[in-house]
Amino acid sequence: MLRLKFTLIFCLIIIAGYAQDLLTNHVIPKLLEVKQQSGNFVLKSTTPLICEANVQPAIKVFAGVIRNSTGYKFKIETPDQKKEGISFKVVDTLQSLGNEGYKLIITPNGINILAKTNAGIFNATQTLRQLLPAEIEGKNTTKIAWTIPCGTIIDKPRYAWRGYMQDVSRTFYGVDVMKKYMDVMALYKINVLHLHLTDDQGWRIEIKKYPELTSERTTVFSKNSNQPAERSGFYTQAQIKDLVKYAAERNITIVPEIDVPGHSWPTTLAYPALGINNNHTPNFVFPFLDSWSYWGNQFTPNTLDPTNEKVYQFLNDVFTELAELFPAQYIHFGGDEVRHILWEKEPHVQQFMKEKSLKNTNELQSYFVSRVSAIIKQKGKKPIGWNDILSDAKNLTKETAIMSWLGDEAIADAAKNGFYVVATPTDPLYFDITQADRNDGTMSDLAYGNINSIDKVYNYEPEQGLTPEEGKFVLGVQANQWTAITQEVKDMNIQNFPRVLALAEIGWIPKEHKNLDQFKNRLNSNLNRLDVLKVDYYRPGGYIAGNWNPSQIKSDYNNIEWDVTKKTYANGRITAGLFYTGGANFLEIKKAVLLENGIVVSEDEHTGIADKFRGTHKTKTFLYHLKVDHYNPKAKYTLQVLVRGIGGKDSKGNLTYNLSPYHSFTVVEGR
């Protein structure tokens, strides 16, 4: 009987993916120093959590996670030398570990966590989560051995800024989505959430002094754009306070961005007097991809007027409310992609520049940046903007930090000129860019020339080419998710994960500790954790569900069918695409039909062309949009596409098929 029990426990440990010793842990980001010891600590229903009252906020999330999964109602008790359990203690003798480092001592009798601050305590709890089986992330899990191998861990981050930027302007995401993202960020010790709150596609935060900023025309996509309702909206100040509190509980700082003076279409619609000109057509916001239809390019034909004192009063009022809402040190003011040609065309601007002895519009932008930076500093905050503002570096105040997106040169430009900088280059840290194959159907921004593979992300070195002294100006690293094209939550998850885990590691560990092969071994275990968390992630092949070849093509229209049962798994929106990859002939497409047990449940009829075109600014006619409203898990689902060869039958390509569930983070696509 005893032998049977031992065998059962051993099997459960193996099933849970548990590492038998501390050295073979699967923790991401990689631990700085690990010393293995014999034995295991077993988490039990009677295990107390021991800490002083001032430490309790730092363990709240950890206690909640393990309570939800194990069902154990852990007691939080005050320290007592006789008690054995998981002990958390803030001590002032760990100066070398900084504000976020920690020491973790695991014995068979208990676990001791020591740190200089509550931030370090929190990071230690996230390491404990990852040392436990992945099922700890689920709910009401039973028959799991909650064991942790014994040893000592000493850990601390390389950078203080380990960031992720979410563009909530081009596509809005509600409070629940952002909370889920912060849950996952916290697990991997990413500590900055940069919210891109305003852009040409919408103003997404309530400003009480300027209610028109959140009117329907500035926050809701026009009806003729056929956008799902959840992609429009804004955060009330009550919701922002809730998000800020939620973030603080997870050692995350939310940095808000109000992008000025360019990318300010909603502002010029709501308050026309603040614009550089009288162009307000159309008088509403619309999705990014419609920009070429309305404007002929992606850039707004109006900006804020840098010569207008009312603009600075407006920004003073806006930043006053932001400073009260966000406790972060920094406020981001954008400053990117300002169309100086709009300024050059205005006589009143030329006159202003003459009066101020400004030689060109770069100097005018520096004037604007200096004014805005001064306003932000008056609020007790630090200003930060995109590296575009460095075009006139000699006239820019050093107190303005730089977020460098235009490559290593931009990072070096900032650091060499004495500006603090966050490294966030397009290549490789823009996660809206495809990560493997441009024909895999993932909804990436194909206007970029690079492919940002997870290998490239992991191997990125933010201080490349910098001297040690210049390297001191690098605050950290950040990945950006621009949601111009990547709009569905599932698509966003596929673009972000598992690359976010690589980001977490390069922001945490010393560069000499990097090892791509070791990282990938640990990553495999963490994919199981993402499955439990109901977070989709990229897999080789992306959304490819099948192919076509010349033998299937005719000169007249005929149907090609693919079995898509495995990729149809919930109620949701479906995007099916025909990506031409080779041969002498393109395909003309007439319609796509989804069949459930041979019966049509959804169809999209329009003329499309499967060709070489992958540009951003034209309609992708090779994409077809379907839906499932009454999913039947026992049914067979078939995609039927009516096509013919154009000028011949020599055509090859990929069928891509992606279902995005209506309800995010409730179900993931099976492996």
Residues known to be catalytic: 199, 263, 337
Chain centre distance of CA 361:
33
Tokens describing residue 474: 């690098």
CA gyration radius, the chain: 27
Tokens describing residue 346: 């205005």
**Distance of alpha carbon 160 from alpha carbon 190, whole angstroms:** 10
- Residues near 87 by beta carbon (within 8 Å), at least 6 away in sequence: 50, 51, 79, 110, 111, 112, 113
The secondary structure of 641-661, three-state, reads EEEEECCCCCCEEEEEEEEEE
- Dump the DSSP string for 375-437: HHHHTT-EEEEEGGGGGGGGGS-TTSEEEE-S-HHHHHHHHHTT--EEE--HHHHBTTS-SS-
- Residues near 93 by beta carbon (within 8 Å), at least 6 away in sequence: none
**Distance of alpha carbon 84 from alpha carbon 73, whole angstroms:** 16
How much of the chain is in helix, strand and coil states, percent to nearest 5?
A: 35, 25, 40
Contact (CB, 8 A) for 155 and 104: yes
Task: Give all strands (DSSP E) within 319-392, no chain letters.
Answer: 330-334, 382-386
Which residue, among 625, 624, 616, has the nearest Cα to 589 in the 3D structure?
A: 624
**Distance of alpha carbon 181 from alpha carbon 199, whole angstroms:** 21
- The identity of residue 342, as a single letter, is L
Contact (CB, 8 A) for 130 and 504: no
Return the sign of the alpha-carbon dihedral for residues 173, 179, 184, 185: positive
**Distance of alpha carbon 153 from alpha carbon 105, whole angstroms:** 7
